[in-house]
Amino acid sequence: MVTGKISHFACAANFLRGRKCIFCGSFRVLRTARGYVKCRHCSKSKSLAKLQREIEILKGFYQLQPAYRLAQDLSVDAKVVTRVYQRLREALFHVTELEGGKLKGEIELDEAYFGGRRKGRRGRGAAGKSIVFGLLEREGRVYTKVVEHLTAQELMRHIQARTRKGSVYYTDAFRGYQSLRRFGKHHVVSHQHTFVNRRTRNHINGIEGFWSYAKHILYNYRGVSKYHFPMYLKEIEYRFNHRRENLFKRFLKVYFGYVSP
């Protein structure tokens, strides 16, 4: 485990020492008398102390550390950590919305409910919770969207915008999916009887696994406001879609705009 973490953070070694430009990846940098690192290639400069602090905060973000706890560990103001976290989440929100094309092949569809001030009714009809509609391409990417209502019209609009026509769709027996056949094959799993159809092997365990993954991450933060929830959700979506890559390196690129390999 330790070796894996070192290999993930190794990409920041030259940035932390001021040997490499965080903006363009050039090694043509110089140290100024004020403690700044200036790039002779892109002409951008940044305080080395501030750069080192922000990279340490991004390490904490990668490790899913809450802002208040990381602020204590780094002996900095919690507002500083929160500001970096917020900026990165806003960037991830836009990057995730723009990434990739439409989902294709075998696609699982489901909806989930997040949040709420108190325990109560679960599932459809739960009060005070955020409704999230999700589409998962088997062995591939996931796409999520916070929606106001689970109407057939709204669901079909998102399905049409985010999937290729002719795909194979797997859903539960919710009536909002009844007109899905116009986009492709539609297989229904009745959760009142079983979670996996033994005869056809139809299921939506993939997207339901993603909901569990998302709620496990959100639990670390001990509550997220409805206003900020979409950004947290897109962060989780980004983590899932790039789970086979070096996430820390991708966070550096998104935050600083660093594009060089």
**CATH number for the domain including 141?**
3.30.420
The pLDDT score that the predictor gives to residue 196 is: 57
Mean pLDDT, range 2-20, rounded to an integer = 81
Q: Please tell me whether residues 63 and 148 are part of one structural domain.
A: no
Distance spanning both ends of the chain, measured CA to CA: 25
| 12 CB-near residues (< 8 Å, 6+ apart) | 55, 59, 248, 252
Per cent of the chain over pLDDT 90 is: 69
Predicted TM-score (pTM) of the model is 0.88
- Residue 45: phi and psi, rounded to 5, are -140, 160
The pLDDT score that the predictor gives to residue 16 is: 95
Position with higher pLDDT, 230 vs 200:
230
Q: Please tell me whether residues 208 and 140 are part of one structural domain.
A: yes
**What is the DSSP annotation of 193-225?**
T-SB-TTT--B-HHHHHHHHHHHHHHHTTT---
Express each pLDDT in 23-69 by its tens digit.
999 999 999 999 999 999 999 999 999 999 999 999 999 999 999 99
Q: Please tell me whether residues 116 and 210 are part of one structural domain.
A: yes
Q: What total number of domains does the chain contain?
A: 2
Express each pLDDT in 205-222 by its tens digit.
899 999 999 999 998 887
Which region among 56-65, 78-87, 161-170, 198-207 has the lowest average model confidence (pLDDT)? 198-207
The answer, yes or no, to whether residue 4 has pLDDT greater than 60, is no
- In the block, tokens 């789970």 appear at 243
**Average pLDDT, rounded, for the chain:** 88
Q: Please tell me whether residues 169 and 202 are part of one structural domain.
A: yes
Range(s) of the domain holding residue 112: 106-223
CB 76 within 8 A of CB 50: no
